[in-house]
Amino acid sequence: MSRRHKHNTAPSSTNPAKLAFFSFLFLILIGVYLSYTRSRSPKHLINTNYKGNNWRTDQTLKVRPVVATEFGSCELHTVKSEAGDVIEDWLWWDEKDQVNVLVHLAEPDRFLMLRQKKYGLVGESLATVGGLVESSETPLEAAKRELSEELGLQSEQWISLGKFRISSVRGGGYLNSFIALDSHATPGSENFKPSGDLEAQHSVHMNKENLMEAVMNGQIQEVKWTATVALGLEWFSQNRVVK
C-alpha cells in the first residue's frame, strides 16, 4: 500500500508584499473617490468667504456649519430653550446687515421708487433703494452709497427709521431703514448709469397717496420694502407736511 502524504491544512501566513500592495490600492481608490466627490460639490458653497457676524447667545450650545458664501452663512444650531429643553438642528441663517431707503425728492410731494423683478418674487414689484452694509461702513454710509450708485442722487438730510431683526426665528441679519429727504442729483450725474444690481429696474415717481395705495394693495411684494415705506409715510404724517 502506498503511503499517503498528509497535506498541511493550516492557513498560510499573509504575504507582507501582497498586503502592502492591496493597502496601497485601497488608498488610491479612496483618493480617487474623494477627488470625484469634491469636484462634484458646489465649490462656492464650500469656501467660507462670509465676513459678517454669526449669532451666538448663552442658549447656543453647539453650532454645525452647513454652507456659506460671501453674502451669508447657514448653520444648524443646538439650542437650549427657556424651559430647559434642548432643540437639535435649529436652522439659522446669518446675513450681512441691509439698508432700505425711502427716497423723497426735492420737489413737492414726490417720492422715487423702483419697479423691478427679483428672483424670489412673482412678476414685478415696487421696491425701495437698498443693499448690503459692507464691513468697512456704517448703515448710514451704506445708505448714502446705495442712493448714489443706484440713482445718482444725494441727500443732506437723513432720517433713521430704526434697525430691525429680519426674522426672530431664523435670523437673516438686520434691516436699517432710512428716509433720504429732498434728494437731488449728484454733481456730474448727467450721464449716470446705475450699478450694483443684477436685475433691470425702472424709476417711478409717486406721491404720498400713491405710495399708501401701493402699501395697502400689495404692489410692494417684499416685507422689508413695505416696512420701510410704511414707516416713512408715518414719519411724514407726524413730522412734515408734504405739499
Q: Report residue 124 CA to chain centroid gap.
A: 21
pLDDT in tens, 31-43: 666 565 555 545 4
* Per-residue burial over 115-145, b = 16 or more CB atoms within 10 Å of its CB, e = otherwise: ebebeeeeebbbbbbbbbbeeeeebeebbbb
Q: Output the pLDDT for position 33.
A: 63
Q: Is the same domain home to 75 and 194?
A: no
Q: Is the same domain home to 196 and 233?
A: yes
Neighbours of 45 (CB within 10 A): 12
Q: Please check the confidence at residue 25 and state whether its pLDDT lies above 50.
A: yes
Neighbours of 97 (CB within 10 A): 20
Q: What is the CATH number of the domain that holds 117?
A: 3.90.79.10
User: 133 near 97, Cβ under 8 Å?
Assistant: yes
Q: Is the same domain home to 208 and 132?
A: yes
Q: Is the same domain home to 116 and 188?
A: yes
Q: Please check the confidence at residue 233 and state whether its pLDDT lies above 80.
A: yes
Q: Is the same domain home to 50 and 153?
A: no
Q: Which three cell numbers stand for residue 110?
A: 414726490
Q: Is the same domain home to 136 and 52?
A: no
Tally of domains within the chain: 2
Q: Is the same domain home to 90 and 185?
A: no
Q: Is the same domain home to 88 and 103?
A: no
Q: Is the same domain home to 109 and 149?
A: yes
Q: Is the same domain home to 166 and 129?
A: yes
Task: Let me know if residue 116 belongs to a domain.
Answer: yes
Q: Which of 78, 95, 112 is where one domain is finished?
A: 95
Q: Output the pLDDT for position 164.
A: 97
Can you say whether the dihedral through the CA atoms of 178, 184, 189, 193 is positive or negative? Answer: positive
pLDDT in tens, 90-134: 999 999 999 999 999 988 889 999 999 999 999 999 999 999 999
**CA terminus-to-terminus distance, the chain:** 129
Annotate 11-31 with three-state secondary structure. Answer: CCCCCHHHHHHHHHHHHHHHH
Q: Which of 79, 95, 111 is where one domain is finished?
A: 95
Task: Let me know if residue 23 belongs to a domain.
Answer: no
Q: Output the pLDDT for position 44.
A: 45
Nearest to 128 by CA among 110, 150, 107, 108: 150
Q: Is the same domain home to 116 and 195?
A: yes
Span 214-218, average pLDDT:
95
| Domain with 71 in it | 43-95
Task: Let me know if residue 10 belongs to a domain.
Answer: no
Q: Is the same domain home to 68 and 116?
A: no
Name the pLDDT band for 50 (thresholds 50, 70, 90). Answer: confident
More confident of the two residues 20 and 75:
75
Q: Output the pLDDT for position 188.
A: 59
DSSP bridge partners of 116: 125, 201
Name the pLDDT band for 201 (thresholds 50, 70, 90). Answer: confident
pLDDT in tens, 62-88: 999 998 888 899 999 999 999 999 999
User: 85 near 162, Cβ under 8 Å?
Assistant: no
Q: Please check the confidence at residue 7 and state whether its pLDDT lies above 60.
A: no
18-22, 185-189, 231-235: segment of lowest average pLDDT: 18-22
Q: Which of 62, 95, 128 is where one domain is finished?
A: 95
What is the distance between the alpha carbons of residues 116 and 127, in angstroms, rounded to a whole number? 7
Q: Output the pLDDT for position 200.
A: 73
